[in-house]
Structure 1
Amino acid sequence: MADTFEPQVIPLCNSQDLVNSGEAVPFDVVYCGQTCLAFAIRYDAQVYAYLNRCSHVPMEMDYQPNRFFDLTGHWLICATHGATYSPRTGACQGGPCRGGLVKIEVSERDGVVHWHTAPQLHPVNF
């Protein structure tokens, strides 16, 4: 019998923990069988989440813990390579990229931000 994927909605943080173009909230996920860091941000009043992996070379992007926005507060930037990404879509906007960031579905309800599992994306203690 084949395993069936059951999506989960997992609480991540309080809504107030995410400020427009401010610090990210980090969390761990298992992506394609590997434990990885991920992050959630707020941009233009919406919440977004991505794996913390530059598409150029899969290394963590933050230049200081939980800091991903450039000085303008409008782009996510890889501290190592200078690649810039759209906070709304994760699409590469400039610099050395090979595609975009891996997006993680999130939702916000009753003052809490949640992330959603996917077939290739699970909680660490899955």
Structure 2
Amino acid sequence: MADLAATLICPSSALVDGGDGVRFATPRGEAFVVRYRSQVRAYLNLCRHRPMPLDMNDSRFFSLDGHHLVCSTHGAHFRADNGLCVLGPCPGQKLEPVAVIERDGSVWLVAD
């Protein structure tokens, strides 16, 4: 990581495809990282309908089928691959992405 300013978030093994996420702090606020279709994806932990965390402080972000990120308060469903709201009170809006990288068995927050 000498060539990249980054902060450790978690070991790669902490993220199971379609499973629980890991919450972490960024300079822009709280965020979360999940694994979807073998790729790590990270977003600020704020629903686009109202500025509330998506999860109930339990790091559960996915729908039961493991394909959408769901706001536990408003029921908005967001595509896990790009954060686009496809169901609920904020269609067409997107979760704000956070730059992360997976390298050497760990997931890292990339400096903005």
Match of 1:19 among 10, 16, 21: 16
Q: Taking every aligned residue pair, what percent have the same amino acid on both sides?
A: 43
SS at match of 1:76: strand
Q: Which runs of 4+ in 1 moved over 6 A?
A: none
CA deviation string 1:21-69 (max 9, x = no partner): 11101101221xxxx2110000110000001100010101114510000
Number of matched residues? 108
Match of 2:100 among 106, 109, 124: 106
- Which 5+ residue runs of structure 1 have no aligned equivalent? 1-6, 119-126
What's the TM-score, normalizing by structure 2?
A: 0.90
Match of residue 39 from structure 1: 32
- Which 5+ residue runs of structure 2 have no aligned equivalent? none
What's the TM-score, normalizing by structure 1?
A: 0.80
Written as runs of structure 1 = structure 2, the 5 A alignment for 1:72-83 is 72-83=65-76
Match of residue 115 from structure 1: 109
CA RMSD in angstroms, aligned pairs only = 1.4
Q: CA deviation at 1:8?
A: 2.8
Match of residue 61 from structure 1: 54
